[in-house]
Amino acid sequence: MADSAAKREIDSVGSDELSHKVKKAKGDSENGQGEVGKESENVLSGFKTSSVLSDSAREKNIFVRGKLADQDAVVILEKTPIREDALAELFSGSRLRLEMRNDIYSTYRLQAPPHLNEIKTTVVCPATEKHVKKYQRQESFLVEETGEDYQSITLPYIQKQSFSIQWVYNILEKKAEADRIVYEDPDPEVGFVLLPDFKWDQKQVDDLYLIAIVHQRDIRSLRDLTSEHLPLLQNIFQKGKEAILQRYKLPASKLRVYLHYQPSYYHLHVHFTKLGYEAPGCGVERAHFLADVIQNLQSDPHYYKTRTLFFPLRADDGLLSKFKEAGRL
């Protein structure tokens, strides 16, 4: 998801000056100590580009591989949305350079004031090959997974290959990102933490994106859910919508609430996005409405244990190879 799991993995770095800057900047972020809004040291001044992994003119982002403090790194650059409350200053404080004029149509290059022309930047350092593959543009394939396939192919694979989720436990234990929490129900059985996803810059609700992370630690994904988890799911559905209405004045009728399968990290979490915002992974091949999940479990307590599920996998995904080896693709 650039998703949260890949953005948060961290290891130690070297002792030279640039390495110290990278380590300090990441350490502050990981421990929730970085001061939001405060200008930071330019840890990217020594970044050396080696390749562009992928880019999207439509989504206005680019994923770049390179070296930072002699370590592999991935830098993600994303243009931030234009905010309605900044339009007056944008129109009055920018410079225009005419490119073309024809009858009633004119096109310009607009040079906005620097603070209105920010680029959201995410640094993954040190980056592993998993990160590089994750962000690299590749062909995708739709996989058909039966309940038996999950037990014999998928589960053994994810137990060995999934990203570390220590960053999840840091959030739940208030060791990191405590200041970003929008709402929390601390109950160990039905409780969860609701906080903004890193894909949302929190400057407008048009692209609202929050994640509810459950306190229970033994639920990996949709496949683990049974009717025993209905109180948890119903609690997330109800209280998550209430918290978003109170904080962002956005009613439930304007929300898309769903789970991913396959998820990007194997600790149960629920996505809350604004309806109309085409969030990454909200398509039918990966997203499952929470309301549908609840109804399915009410009808069949073990629905997701036996149900055949479909999901996309990228060409270099190791799980795709496992399905091919088993003759399932």
Residue of 131, 260, 267, 269 with catalytic role:
269
* Cα gap 54→131, rounded to integer Å: 12
Please work out, in degrees rounded to the nearest 5, the angle formed at the alpha carbon of residue 251 by the alpha carbons of 247 and 255.
100
Q: Which of 208, 193, 201, 207 is nearest to 269 (CA)?
A: 193
In this structure, the chain runs to a length of: 329
**Nearest alpha carbon to residue 248 among 218, 208, 221, 213:** 208
Tokens of 142: 């739709």
Helix (H, G, I), strand (E, B) or coil at 271: strand
Q: How far apart are CA 136 and CA 128, in angstroms?
A: 13
Q: Indicate if 269 belongs to the active site.
A: yes
φ and ψ at 160, to 5 degrees?
Answer: -100, -30
Helix, strand, coil share of the chain (percent; to 5): 35, 25, 40
Residues belonging to the active site: 269
